[in-house]
């Protein structure tokens, strides 16, 4: 995967994770079951870590 593709994938996953984290924090006030909120929070954190790995840590050498 090229450097730009890794960065774009990282940005997209970070954006999705932010929406999941915000949803996980505000869904309990809407009366949604706790299992959905916990799943949303966990998936948000996993995607946030994955996005950071793709954006910052993975470096490909293009020659």
63 occurs within a structural domain? no
pTM for this model (two decimals): 0.81
Using alpha carbons only, what angle is made at residue 14 by residues 20 and 26, rounded to the nearest 5 degrees?
Answer: 20
In angstroms, what CA-CA distances link 48 with 23, 31, 35, 61?
Answer: 14, 25, 20, 24
32 occurs within a structural domain? yes
pLDDT of residue 62: 54
42 occurs within a structural domain? yes
8 occurs within a structural domain? yes
* 27 C-beta neighbours (distance < 10 Å), count: 17
Domain count, the chain: 1
Q: Which domain holds residue 29?
A: 3-55
60 occurs within a structural domain? no
62 occurs within a structural domain? no
61 occurs within a structural domain? no
Mean pLDDT of 16-38: 86
Mean pLDDT of 19-46: 87
């Amino acid at each position: 995967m090229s450097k730009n593709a890794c960065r774009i994938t990282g940005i997209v996953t970070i954006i999705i994770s932010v929406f999941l984290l915000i949803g996980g924090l505000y869904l309990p006030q809407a009366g949604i079951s706790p299992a959905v909120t916990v799943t949303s929070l966990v998936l948000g954190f996993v995607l946030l870590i994955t996005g950071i790995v793709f954006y910052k840590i993975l470096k490909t050498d293009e020659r």
